[in-house]
């Protein structure tokens, strides 16, 4: 990316600035979204390298699936991309908010990947199978016309394409046909790809609170694309835009704090919960994870009823924000979902270590230190009577791809962050006790000196510290000096 060569030094300065002190409440002043604040540039361009790791589910037995057998998949990947983000069109508003666009671009990383973008895999033809599902309740005559159109265009239920095509788009005559006879049905006009709309594009206009006037609302989303709530779902609660934009949170977190953010890709707000305290490269962190109810259906977790119609618990229907295609969002390999989902597809092995998501946050500043957000996209497929291309496919939620967005502070920014926000506070913490001890010593020195001086005076001038016998001897001696000595007496020299 242009200009990336000079970024590390700038990042060091930004993190170092964040650790400086001053004012009545330094963390509050430092994390506000204000061009004059110390963390503004850090907010504008987050000093954490992000990576998108994509895993594809290669369908091993497509012909058998068309005959009604259970699908078998083989995981391929990861195919890793460096993710670049930068904010633009930053506009400060009068109501203590700032609006911005965040652009993203992706660059393939062959050295971190297990494969190349030229690799071929077999996947469900999303356009064909999604269109077939949409025609399920249409008249038989329309279904026959669609079957004929599919045959004419050479469309099949499964396709064999490269990773690059599936990721960033491929030409398909079906797209042109749909856009011609069913305009506005698809949100795209040219190539179709799972991540095509994410590359070199923005995630919508975010308007968030700066925290300058009202710190209690810092980083919270006020509006997204001008909306205070979305209209994808069937309840006000599910349509609410809660939390932040998913990059920074308010400081001074506690274990009771929850981590909320709005995800344009998921078309909803998500809430993570505190799991445990820990450290990342010596920096104290709070780990936040997804609750088991994140993708639960309405039967298991009633507040999620607004995301329905639902299938088994553990997957979320996102068709309403994905051109009505029967797409579902979940954890990878249907982790934390109804076991029936993983059992319906051969080759899935859900486990917590590989498929759970987490965010490690520095609780004092609200800045992410290490994060790994993992999600899976699946397609609900089945045979549709009247559309021959669907064969005898048994109803199944078939995984297409799962991906991990990860980022961890590293290098000079990490070192400077540790020095300014961990090492220096610890040094200052112990320094106060050292200074207190030095103060006590300096206070005791003149007292001890005074006591020693008084003791010397007593020894030289006073007999108060002498025993009673010594006092009597001295008194007798004094009286003898006052009495004349008899004749013939020899006086001896007295020594004290």
Residue 414 has pLDDT above 60, yes or no: yes
Residue 471 has pLDDT above 60, yes or no: no
pLDDT tens digits for range 395-410 = 999 999 999 999 998 8
Average pLDDT over residues 64-83: 97
> Is the CB of residue 230 less than 8 Å from the CB of residue 207?
no
pLDDT band at 243 (very low <50, low <70, confident <90, very high): very high
Where are the chain's structural domains? Answer: 35-409, 419-463
pLDDT band at 247 (very low <50, low <70, confident <90, very high): confident
pLDDT number for residue 9: 37
Percentage of residues of the chain with pLDDT beyond 70: 82
Average pLDDT over residues 62-73: 98
Q: Specify the range with the lowest mean pLDDT, choosing from 28-42, 89-103, 477-491.
A: 477-491
Q: Specify the range with the lowest mean pLDDT, choosing from 31-35, 291-295, 450-454, 464-468.
A: 464-468
pLDDT number for residue 448: 77
pLDDT number for residue 484: 57
Residue 469 has pLDDT above 80, yes or no: no
pLDDT number for residue 204: 93
Q: In a 10 Å sphere around its CB, with 0-12 CB exposed, 13-18 middle and 19+ buried, how is residue 302 labelled? A: exposed
Average pLDDT over residues 103-120: 96
Average pLDDT over residues 341-369: 94
Q: Specify the range with the lowest mean pLDDT, choosing from 135-139, 264-268, 425-429.
A: 425-429
**Pick the residue with more confidence: 10 or 316?**
316
CA-based nearest residue to 371, from 380, 379, 381, 361: 361
**Pick the residue with more confidence: 7 or 67?**
67
pLDDT number for residue 477: 54
pLDDT number for residue 177: 80
pTM, to two decimals: 0.81
Average pLDDT over residues 270-289: 94
Residue 1 has pLDDT above 90, yes or no: no
pLDDT number for residue 442: 79
Percentage of residues of the chain with pLDDT beyond 90: 58
pLDDT number for residue 10: 36
pLDDT number for residue 432: 66
**Pick the residue with more confidence: 181 or 430?**
181
Average pLDDT over residues 68-90: 96
pLDDT number for residue 438: 78
pLDDT band at 430 (very low <50, low <70, confident <90, very high): low
pLDDT number for residue 447: 77
Residue 340 has pLDDT above 70, yes or no: yes
pLDDT tens digits for range 170-217 = 988 888 887 777 776 676 777 889 998 888 889 899 999 999 888 889
| Selection from 1-10, 186-195, 460-469 with the highest mean pLDDT | 186-195
pLDDT number for residue 478: 55
Residue 402 phi, psi dihedral angles, 5° rounding: -130, 150
**Pick the residue with more confidence: 416 or 301?**
301
Beta-carbon count within 10 A of 465 CB: 9
pLDDT number for residue 126: 93
**Pick the residue with more confidence: 430 or 214?**
214
């Amino acid at each position: 990316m242009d200009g990336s060569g000079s970024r590390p030094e700038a990042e060091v300065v930004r993190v170092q600035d964040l650790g400086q002190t001053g004012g009545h409440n330094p963390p509050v002043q430092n994390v506000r979204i204000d061009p004059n604040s110390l963390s503004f540039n850090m907010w504008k361009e987050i000093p954490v390298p992000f990576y998108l790791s994509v895993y594809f589910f290669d369908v091993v037995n497509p012909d058998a699936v068309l005959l009604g057998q259970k699908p078998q998949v083989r995981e391929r990947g990861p195919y890793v991309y460096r993710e670049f983000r930068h904010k633009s069109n930053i506009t400060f508003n009068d109501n203590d908010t700032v609006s911005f666009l965040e652009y993203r671009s992706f660059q393939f990383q062959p050295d971190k990947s297990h494969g190349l973008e030229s690799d071929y895999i077999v996947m469900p033809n999303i356009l064909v199978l999604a269109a077939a599902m949409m025609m399920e309740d249409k008249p038989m005559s329309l279904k026959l016309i669609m079957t004929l159109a599919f045959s004419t265009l050479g469309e099949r239920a499964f396709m064999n394409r490269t990773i690059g095509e599936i990721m960033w788009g491929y030409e398909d005559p079906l797209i042109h046909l749909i856009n011609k006879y069913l305009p506005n049905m698809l949100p795209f006009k040219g190539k179709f790809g799972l991540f095509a709309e994410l590359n070199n594009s923005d995630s919508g206009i975010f308007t968030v609170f700066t925290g300058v006037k009202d710190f209690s609302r810092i980083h919270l989303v006020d509006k997204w694309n001008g909306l205070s709530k979305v209209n994808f779902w069937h309840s006000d609660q599910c349509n609410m835009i809660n939390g932040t934009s998913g990059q920074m949170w308010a400081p001074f977190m506690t274990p009771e704090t929850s981590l909320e953010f709005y995800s344009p890709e998921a078309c909803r707000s998500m809430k993570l919960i505190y799991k445990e305290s820990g450290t990342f490269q010596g920096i104290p962190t709070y780990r936040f994870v997804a609750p088991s109810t994140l993708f639960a259906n309405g039967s298991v977790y009633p507040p999620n009823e607004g995301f329905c119609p639902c299938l088994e618990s553990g997957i979320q229907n996102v068709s309403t924000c994905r051109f009505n295609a029967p797409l579902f969002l979940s954890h990878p390999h249907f982790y934390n979902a109804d076991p029936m989902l993983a059992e319906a597809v051969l080759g899935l092995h859900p486990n917590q270590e590989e498929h759970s998501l987490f965010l490690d946050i520095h609780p004092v500043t609200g800045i992410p230190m290490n994060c790994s957000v993992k999600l899976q996209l699946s397609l609900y497929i089945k045979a549709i009577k009247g559309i021959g291309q669907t064969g005898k496919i048994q109803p199944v939620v078939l995984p297409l791809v799962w991906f991990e967005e990860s980022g961890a502070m590293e290098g000079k920014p990490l070192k400077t962050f540790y020095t300014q926000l961990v090492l220096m506070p610890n040094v200052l913490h112990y320094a106060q006790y050292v200074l207190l001890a030095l103060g006590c010593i300096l206070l005791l020195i003149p007292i001890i000196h005074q006591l020693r001086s008084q003791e010397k005076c007593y020894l030289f001038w006073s007999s108060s510290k002498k025993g009673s016998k010594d006092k009597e001897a001295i008194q007798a001696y004094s009286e003898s000096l006052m009495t004349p000595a008899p004749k013939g007496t020899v006086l001896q020299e007295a020594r004290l």
